[in-house]
Structure 1
Amino acid sequence: MSEHIETYRHDLRSYLIGLALALLLTGAAFAAVLWQVAPPHVLLGIVFGLGLLQVIAHFRFFLHIDLGKSARDDLQLILFSTLIILLMVGGTLVILMNLRTRMM
């Protein structure tokens, strides 16, 4: 029974750290845009960087995916899914831009 409680505490701690990081990173992105801390092109890079950090935090603290041997299959699945989504979005954008040039 003690092992079950210890696992519960570890998971709860992980979720709370992830929640705090997610809130902090989201707040930082909103604050950077609200207070215009940099020129627009630099600000876009800052927001993208904070978004990437938030994705990493979600993978680590909510999905419990790290770079250990046991999680490599999960990581490969996520990377493959990301590749498929990027190909679909990229293909859609190419088609839309082609249609736009033909309409003009």
Structure 2
Amino acid sequence: MSDRETEFRRERRSYLTGLAFALILTLIPFGVVAWGGLSTSVALWLIAGFALVQIVVHFRFFLHIDLSRQKREDLQLILFTVLLLAIMASGTIWIMASLQTRMM
């Protein structure tokens, strides 16, 4: 087997593993909601926890971002972008809520 075939098989195995994890991490919260045996707050915390784990799975298996030195800059760039988007979204919500209270 050539190096290209080995690399292709490793990439495909990585994608299929990520797909399996993503499906499992999606189906479990759907099962929690469909089962309905938990309180609303516990169900929301479980869904949020599984969402965070799924973000890590997507970073690792689909975006190929891990904690190695080469990929650390990419991870910092993504986290900085998320920080900026969170600041913009929360600021917008804050301003709109303030405007609503002033209008009423």
* TM range, smaller chain: over 0.9
**Which string of whole-angstrom CA distances, capped at 9 and with x for unpartnered residues, describes residues 52-79 of structure 1?**
0100000000000000111111111111
After superposing on structure 2, the runs of 4+ consecutive aligned residues of structure 1 that deviate more than 4 Å are none
Q: Aligned residue for 2:22?
A: 22
Query: Residues 65 and 75 of structure 1 are in contact (CA less than 8 Å); yes or no, is this contact kept in structure 2?
Result: yes
Q: Which runs of 5+ in 2 are unaligned?
A: none
Q: TM-score, normalised by structure 1?
A: 0.95
Determine the C-alpha separation between the residues in 1 that align with 2:34 and 2:103: 37
Q: Aligned residue for 1:10?
A: 10
Q: Aligned residue for 1:48?
A: 48
The residue type equivalent to 1:73 in the other structure is: E
Q: Secondary structure at the match of 1:67?
A: coil
The residue type equivalent to 1:26 in the other structure is: T
1:65 has 2:38 as partner: no
The two structures, once aligned, show a CA RMSD in angstroms of 1.1
Determine the C-alpha separation between the residues in 2 that align with 1:25 and 1:44: 14
Q: CA deviation at 1:47?
A: 0.4
The alignment of Structure 1 onto Structure 2 pairs a total of residues equal to 104
Q: Which runs of 5+ in 1 are unaligned?
A: none
Q: TM-score, normalised by structure 2?
A: 0.95
- How many percent identity over aligned positions? 48
The residue type equivalent to 2:45 in the other structure is: G
Determine the C-alpha separation between the residues in 2 that align with 1:99 and 1:21: 43
Determine the C-alpha separation between the residues in 2 that align with 1:39 and 1:2: 54
